[in-house]
């Protein structure tokens, strides 16, 4: 009686699998370089954040401009993340632009409610975006903390705060309004104190305060990188 060689091999006698995927040397080189860049970039970023939160030292003072360039304004580190202070005021930011036509005639446009746009996107939205909730508010906090009431810079980050606030508004307004190029931009900020509850017996809050910033020129550089 001959053995049937056509039946499949038993589970204990499966043929050995072939070798695994082998990367070519160019592919290994690309993967190695990509990994090195990723690890190096992550290390530099974490080092900058560490120098930012660490007590002042010779290294952090020497590279302060580079560290601030990495951290501010998107990656600022502070305790408000863990122990936020309740908002005492409602801040409303508006912007208007001055445009110029081809013939050289300038026109001042109406105010655009930037904060009103954010509130419209938040209300009724079960999962509002972080940008709609905090981007404009944090930009104003950044500006207010680096300027006095005469709109003069009080620290080296003042110029960065101005550019940050300006670019947020220009991203929404665009380069042109009704076919006319945007020439300048101005901001108006209204601060309204949150009223106390009726049962508290506290005095009524003061009237809202309006703060108008000076006109800022707008150039092509202000739109760099904006979608």
Please determine, for residue 80, whether its predicted confidence score (pLDDT) is greater than 80.
no
Measured CA to CA, the distance from residue 183 to residue 99 in angstroms comes to 5
Residue 131 domain-assigned? yes
Establish if 107 belongs to a structural domain: yes
Vertex 216, ends 170 and 114: CA angle to 5°?
40
* Distance, CA of 44 to CA of 75 (rounded, Å): 14
- 104 and 54 together in one domain: no
Cβ neighbors of 26 (< 8 A, separation 6 or more) are none
Residues 103 and 188 occupy one common structural domain: yes
pLDDT at residue 43 in the model: 92
pLDDT at 9: 52
Predicted local distance difference test score (pLDDT) of residue 99: 96
Residues 34 and 101 in one domain: no
Which run of H or of E encompasses 185? strand 180-193
Are 39 and 126 members of one domain? no
- Rounded CA separation 202/36 (Å): 61
Task: Please report whether residue 159 resides in a domain.
Answer: yes
Same domain, 41 and 118: no
Q: Where are the alpha helices (DSSP H) in 72-199?
A: 114-122, 130, 136-144, 158-173
- Count of structural domains within the chain: 2
One domain, residues 60 and 88: no
Q: Are residues 89 and 161 in the same domain?
A: yes
Q: What is the pLDDT of residues 12-22, one digit of tens each?
A: 555 555 556 78
Tokens 């026109």 belong to 107
Phi, psi (degrees; rounded to nearest 5) at 193: -70, 135
196 SS3 class: coil
Question: Is residue 60 located within the same domain as residue 99?
Answer: no
Tell me if the pTM is above 0.75: no
Boundaries of domain holding 57 = 24-71
Per-residue pLDDT tens digits for 125-147: 999 998 898 899 999 999 999 99
Judge whether 175 lies within some domain: yes
Residues in CB range of 20: below 8 A, 6 or more apart = none
Residue 16 maps to a domain: no
> Do 177 and 202 belong to one domain?
yes
- Mark whether 59 and 89 lie in a shared domain: no
The answer to whether residues 105 and 201 belong to one domain is yes
pLDDT tens track for 20-78: 678 888 888 999 999 999 999 999 999 988 888 888 888 888 888 888 888 887 777 66
Same domain? For 106 and 52 the reply is: no
- Of 14, 46, 71, the one marking the end of a domain is 71
d(CA 147, CA 190): 16
CA nearest neighbour of 190 among 115, 78, 136: 115
Looking at the domain assignment, is residue 9 inside a domain? no
Residue 169 lies in a domain: yes
């Amino acid at each position: 009686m001959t053995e049937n060689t056509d039946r499949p091999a038993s589970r204990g006698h499966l043929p050995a699998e072939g070798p695994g995927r082998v990367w070519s040397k160019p592919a290994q080189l690309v993967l190695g370089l990509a990994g090195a860049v990723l690890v190096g970039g992550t290390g530099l970023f974490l080092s900058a954040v560490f120098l930012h939160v660490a007590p002042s030292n010779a290294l952090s003072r020497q590279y302060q401009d580079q560290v601030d360039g990495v951290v501010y304004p998107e990656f600022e580190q502070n305790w408000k993340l863990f122990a936020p202070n309740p908002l005492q005021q409602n801040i409303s930011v508006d912007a208007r632009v001055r445009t110029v036509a081809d013939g050289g005639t300038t026109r001042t446009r109406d105010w655009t409610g930037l904060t009103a746009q954010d509130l419209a996107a938040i209300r009724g939205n079960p999962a509002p975006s972080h940008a709609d909730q905090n981007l404009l508010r944090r930009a104003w906090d950044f500006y207010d903390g680096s300027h006095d009431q005469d709109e003069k810079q009080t620290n080296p980050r003042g110029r960065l705060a101005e550019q940050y606030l300006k670019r947020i508004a220009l991203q929404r307004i665009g380069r042109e309004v009704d076919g006319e190029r945007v020439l300048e931009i101005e901001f108006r900020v209204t601060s309204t104190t949150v009223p106390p509850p009726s049962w508290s017996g506290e005095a009524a809050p003061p009237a809202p305060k309006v703060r108008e910033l000076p006109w800022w020129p707008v150039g092509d550089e202000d739109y760099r990188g904006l979608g």
